[in-house]
Copies of this chain bind each other. A is one copy, B any other.
Amino acid sequence: MSTKDEILKYLQEHNQYVSGEELSEQLLVSRTAIWKNINTLRNCGYEIESMTNRGYRLVSSPDILKPELILSGLKTKSLAKKVFCYDKIDSTNEEAKRQALTGAPDGSLFIAEQQDGGKGRLGRTWNSPAGTGLWFSVFLRSSQLPLQVTNITLFAGLAVCRAIRSQTNAAAMIKWPNDVVIGSKKVCGILTEMAAEVDRIEYVVVGIGVNVNIESFSDELSVKATSLRIECNHPVDRIPLLQKILREFESVLNEYSSNPESTLADYKTLCVSLNRKVQFTKDKTTVSATGVDIAPDGKLIVRCENGELISINSGEVTIQGIYGQT
C-alpha cells in the first residue's frame, strides 16, 4: 500500500483530527511526506481539513469508483477483496465471465462508471449512464455458493434492499424474484448468470445495477424507473452504498447457510409480491392470481382465481400497481 493510501486509511479509520506527528510516527514516514501526500489526496478530490495543533481530518471522499476508495473501509471478510474498476465497459457481467476463463479470484468485484452494453434479465438491455449509478458484478466460485443456488439471486435483492434502507430513508422493497423497488418504481435490477456442468456449478456472476444519482428518466421509463436521488431529493454517495451492499450480501449468504428459514422470512417481509394481485404467463395465456408465499427453493407461490396454488420459477410476473401495471 502506498503512503498516500496508508494516510487515507488511517484518516478513514479514525474519523477525527489526527496530528501530523501521530501520522508520521504510526506510518514511519517524515512530516514532509505526510504533508505532500495530504496535498495529493486533496488534488484527487478528498476534502481534508487541517487545523493548527489538532492536525488533519477527512471530511469527504470523491464519488469516483477506484479500487482504493472501494477497498478502504470495506467491512467484508472475503467478498470483493479483488476489485476491477472500469471507466467504461460493455457489461461488468461479460467482463467477469471473460476473466473467469483466465482465473479471476473468487469474490472478485467488477465495477464500471458506465456500461455501453448493460444487460437485464430475459435478454433485455439495462441503461447504465456514466457516473450516476452502481453498475457492478460479484464473481463467486462454487465454494461460496449456497446449495440452493437459484436463491442467490433472491438474496442479492435482499442485500440491496437492506443496504438502501440503511444508507438512505427510502422504503425499498423487493419485487420477486430480485428487482428492488421504491413505491411502484424500480431502483435496482439484478442479473445472475452461472457457468456449470450438468450437475456441478462452476461459478456464478451476480450483476447488480442500482440507479443512484440519475436525475431524470425518459417519459417512457419514468413510469417504472426511479433513482435514489429522485426518491431522496438529494445525491447519494455511491461508495458507502456499494460497501454496504457488499457487506449485506456477504452477511445474507452466511445467514442463509446457517439459518435459511430466517433469511427467507426476512426476504418475505420485504417482498412486495406477496398479498398482491399478480399476473403471469402460463402456456401462453395470462393468468391472474395472488402472491401468497415464497417456497424454500425460491419459487413464488400464487393462488389462482379458482383457488389452485401454483409455483412459479421463471419468466415475468407483473404486479398490480407496480411499474404502471393496472
Which residues of A are at the interface with B, using a C-beta cutoff of 8 A?
94, 97-98, 101, 121-122, 149-150, 152-153, 177, 191-200, 202, 313-315
- In the assembled complex, the Cα of A98 lies from the Cα of B195 at a distance in Å of 12
Q: How far is the CA of A191 from the CA of B199 in the complex (A)?
A: 11
A192-B196 Cα distance, complex, nearest whole Å: 8
In the complex, which residues of chain B have a beta carbon less than 8 angstroms from the beta carbon of A122? 197, 200
Name the residue of chain B whose CB is nearest to the CB of A313: B199
| Alpha-carbon distance A94/B195, docked complex (angstroms) | 12
A196 contact from B98, B194, B313, Cβ within 8 A: B194
A139 to chain B, nearest CB (A): 14
Q: Which residues of B contact A314 (CB under 8 A)?
A: 198-200
**A302 CA to B73 CA, complexed, in Å:** 53
Contact of A101 among B94, B153, B192, B196 (CB under 8 A): B94
Complex Cα distance A220/B200, Å? 27
Please give me the residue from chain B that is nearest to A121 by CB atom.
B197
Given A94-B101, A98-B101, A101-B94: A194 and B198 interface contact (C-beta under 8 Å):
yes
Task: List 10 tightest A-B contacts by C-beta distance, closest first.
Answer: A199-B314, A153-B198, A192-B198, A150-B198, A195-B195, A194-B196, A193-B197, A98-B101, A199-B313, A97-B101
Q: How far apart sit A150 and B197, CA to CA, in the bound complex (Å)?
A: 9
Chain B neighbourhood of A191, CB < 8 A: 197
A193–B196 alpha-carbon span in the complex (Å): 5
Q: Which residues of B contact A196 (CB under 8 A)?
A: 193-194, 196
Residue of B at shortest CB range from A150? Answer: B198
